[in-house]
Amino acid sequence: MTCLDCKKELSYLDHKNSMDTLGVELCHQHKTRLDKLIRLNNTPIEAIQLYYGLKNAGVSPMLEWWDGNKSIDIAISRVKLNIEIDTDYQMMTHEQAMNNLEEAMHSFRNGFTTIRIPHTLIRHYLSETVNSVLGIIEGLRLNIKVV
Ligand SMILES: [Zn+2]
C-alpha cells in the first residue's frame, strides 16, 4: 500500500481513511491537500479517481484547472481536452442542458474539446473509462499534430 501520488508507504489507518472517503490510496499529506481542493471546488470524488487513473496511465492531467471562467474538473492541456464529471445527469433540466451546450460552444471557440462523463461510469468502470479517454487524447493529438 503506497500513496498514488508520492509512493510513500501507507499505514493501515491512512489507507483506510483515504479509501473510505476518496476511494483512492493516498498518504495523509496528499489526502489533506485533496480534501481542501474538494471543499473549495465541490469536486466529485470520481474526478479524483479518474485523475489518478489517467496519471497512472502516463497522462499529465490537472485537477480543478481554472480556464478563465470556471474551474474544470480535469484538464489535459497538451491536447486541450476538458473533462467534466456529471453527478446530476439523471435530473438534468433544459436550462442545465442549454448551459452545457453553451459551455461546449465557448470551449470549442477557444480550441478546447469538452467531454462530460457520468460519475457512475467512473465508479463502476474506471479502467474502461480511462482507456476511452486515452483513445480521445490520442485522437486529439493526431488532429492537432502535437510533436
Ligand atoms: Zn502522498
Quote the ligand 1 centre to 34 CA distance (angstroms): 11
Quote the ligand 1 centre to 4 CA distance (angstroms): 7
Is residue 43 scored above 90 in pLDDT?
yes
- Mean pLDDT on 102-128: 91
Quote the ligand 1 centre to 93 CA distance (angstroms): 39
Q: Which three cell numbers stand for residue 132?
A: 476511452
Domain ranges, ordered by start, for the chain: 1-41, 44-144
Quote the ligand 1 centre to 126 CA distance (angstroms): 21
Could you read off the pLDDT of 66-89 as tens digits, one per residue? 988 889 999 999 999 999 998 876
Quote the ligand 1 centre to 25 CA distance (angstroms): 9
pLDDT of residue 57: 96
**What is the model's pTM?**
0.89
Polymer length in residues for the chain: 147
Q: Return mean pLDDT, the chain.
A: 92
44-144: in CATH 3.90.1170.50: no
If pLDDT is split at 50, 70 and 90, which confidence band does 26 have?
A: very high
CA distances from 107 to 69, 88, 122, 143, 146 (A): 10, 21, 23, 17, 19
Quote the ligand 1 centre to 6 CA distance (angstroms): 4
Quote the ligand 1 centre to 121 CA distance (angstroms): 26
Do 63 and 28 touch, CB atoms closer than 8 A? no
Quote the ligand 1 centre to 33 CA distance (angstroms): 10
Q: Which three cell numbers stand for residue 106?
A: 465557448
